[in-house]
Amino acid sequence: MATAIINNVGIDGIVTVVPPKRQFFDEDAKRLGISSGLAKRISKSVGLYERRVVSPEVTALDLGEAACRDLLNGLDKDKSEIGFIIFVTQTSDHPQPCNATILHGRLELDTEVGALDVNLGCSGYVYGLYLAATMIKSLEKDVLLIVGDTLSRQVNSMDRSAGILFGDGASATLLTFKANECMYFDLCSDGTGYESIIVPAGGARMPSSEKTGISEEDNEGNFRALDDLKMVGGEVFNFAVRTEPAAIKKLLEFANISIEDVDMFFFHQANKYILQTIAKRLSLPSSKVPDKIITKYGNQSSASIPCTINEIIGSNEKPLLSVLSGFGVGLSWGSALCNLNLTYCPSPITWRKG
């Protein structure tokens, strides 16, 4: 997509919710028979230490609902001001109906409120922001954006590449009319790389069956079934570190903003080494590029950018000119430039199903 500017919109608040269970990397390493030497190298390079994972009865929808309730409460927002809800997820409760409509019912929103899901992962937060921002002007209402996944349940626990990486979580973001504010976007896709990150079975192309549930060992000793998420690490690395620097430069050029004038760069927390490589290629100081969220929460898919914002900045702080940028499954990547001047932005909340 060409770059775009959307005027008179901004983010009012963000809440991220994570489950209470902490899964430690040293436990993962033991389970997978990873030597202590390799475990040290993985931990240092990727930045793994612990991640939050759901219990089987909790879904992204549950986490998203908890995030919405806290956000609306924290902003003291009347539900009648919401015109649309968007749920970005790849781990919805059912193939049909979509999460957004179920959440609509749980939140008891008015029937005049539209609801839809977006099937995207690590780029999904920025795509969701774009969709929400475009709706603000036409609806003259606030838009509630929910992003989140439970990818810890989509991977094979005996897969050394994906099985140690993902943490669960969901975020709710409220976008609203803000005079004199604007958001810049750059959204891109490369469908020729769709097999780099994929769950092969479970859709119409290859329905799940007894056969697709059988784990098989690959040539690197990873066990994976066709029902499990597969990620080709080297391809994803090259994709991320080649597309991201160019995309950020393109966005800032479009906005006529110097890279030095940006206060913070909130990248999708894929992997510490990837973020450091992107930062190096853009000559960014490490103080402007948070890269330790994965250490605490794991790779949280679409929720990792808002979780990083919740972890790094608080409510009612001075506005920060920020780049938000995600990249991943699709292949898909998106970047936004906006002022973060949040009325409500608590630290990530640990939520227990009551």
Partner 1 sequence: MNKIEFLQELQEIMMLDNPLIDSVELDSLVEYDSMTRLSLLGLFEDELGKKIEPEDLVKLKTVGDLVLLGGLE
The smaller minimum CB distance to partner 1, of residues 219 and 316, is found at 219
Minimum distance, C-beta of residue 27 to partner 1, in the bound complex (Å): 19
CA nearest to 334, candidates 33, 130, 101, 36 = 130
- Name the amino acid, one letter, at 244: E
Minimum distance, C-beta of residue 240 to partner 1, in the bound complex (Å): 10
The smaller minimum CB distance to partner 1, of residues 92 and 156, is found at 156
For residue 264, the Cα-to-chain-centroid distance in whole angstroms is 17
CB 95: neighbour CB atoms within 10 A? Answer: 9
- d(C-alpha 25, C-alpha 41), whole Å: 12
The smaller minimum CB distance to partner 1, of residues 106 and 281, is found at 281
CB-based contact 265:284 (threshold 8 Å): yes
Q: Please identify every residue annotated as catalytic.
A: 122, 268, 299
Minimum distance, C-beta of residue 185 to partner 1, in the bound complex (Å): 27
The smaller minimum CB distance to partner 1, of residues 29 and 120, is found at 29
Q: Tell me if residue 298 falls in helix, strand or coil.
A: coil
Beta bridge partner(s), residue 86: 116, 145
| Contacts with partner 1, residue ranges (CB under 8 A) | 35, 37-38, 40-42, 45-46, 161, 220, 232-235, 237-238, 241, 273, 277, 280-281
What CA–CA distances, in Å, run from 262 to 79, 251, 288?
34, 12, 9
CB 267: neighbour CB atoms within 10 A? Answer: 27
Minimum distance, C-beta of residue 174 to partner 1, in the bound complex (Å): 38
